[in-house]
Amino acid sequence: MTIAPSESSTNASDLLTLASWMAGDFSNYKQSFASPQLYAHIHIFFRPLPIEFFSAIGFYSEQAYDHDLWTPYRQGVHKLVDLGDRIYIENYSLKDPMLYAGAARELDILKTITPESIERRYNCSMVFQREGEIFRGSVEPGNQCLIKRNGCQTYLVSEVEMTERTWISLDKGMDIETHKQIWGSTAGPLRFEKRESFADELRAVSALC
């Protein structure tokens, strides 16, 4: 799915603001500690990629359980695109993800990721808009981000709310025929707080925006 830029325009700094807020190590420790029976302790890392990778702002991401950071259960690469009134985050998968496990914490591993090692996840981009001091995002419309899970073909429903210090997300997989939830949290969204910022690594790409 291709989305054309809008004729309306938001503040050009919104793209950099979103990127600087994303860049970091986020943990839901407080949520997990309060309700361990419902929420595992998880880290989400968004590490800026070198400018040469996309000639735009890009990230490598990992999600991992706190007790096993070297075995992430989700990895991805993301490119931020300014559409005027929205910010579009293209999502890419890694062809051999475990080769790059730990890249969010070890820059020597991060440097080994190349454009040839990823492939676009079409129909799975996230679309963000700013509302004051909050960015809200959701997967692009159409229910076409397909994920096979537990023997069922599902489509992804993903919603994110982000501030400078927090990342709140809810991902669900819905059966393409019945539209019933097959996987994902049934206890509510995951609530992460930023433990460490990587925003200073974005300086090299600030001139592009």
Residue spans of the domains in the chain: they are 13-194
SS3 content of the chain, % helix, strand, coil (to 5): 20, 40, 35
Please state whether beta strands 146-149 and 24-27 pair in parallel, antiparallel, or not at all (unpaired).
unpaired
Instruction: Give 150-158's long-range contacts (Cβ < 8 A, gap of 24+).
Output: 150/182, 150/183, 152/182, 154/182, 154/183, 156/124, 157/184, 158/126
Instruction: Give the gyration radius of the chain's Cα atoms.
Output: 17
Query: In the prediction, which pLDDT does 151 show?
Result: 86
Query: In the prediction, which pLDDT does 61 show?
Result: 98
Please identify every stretch of the chain with a pLDDT value under 70, giving residue numbers as ranges.
1-12, 204-209
76, 113 in Cβ contact below 8 A? no
pTM of the model: 0.90
Query: In the prediction, which pLDDT does 3 show?
Result: 38
Distance CA 191, CA 85 (A): 26
Query: In the prediction, which pLDDT does 89 show?
Result: 98
Reading the block at residue 41, the tokens are 């302790």
pLDDT digit string (tens) for 104-144? 999 999 999 999 999 999 999 999 999 999 999 999 999 99
The hierarchical CATH code for the domain 13-194 is 2.40.128.590
Query: In the prediction, which pLDDT does 10 show?
Result: 47
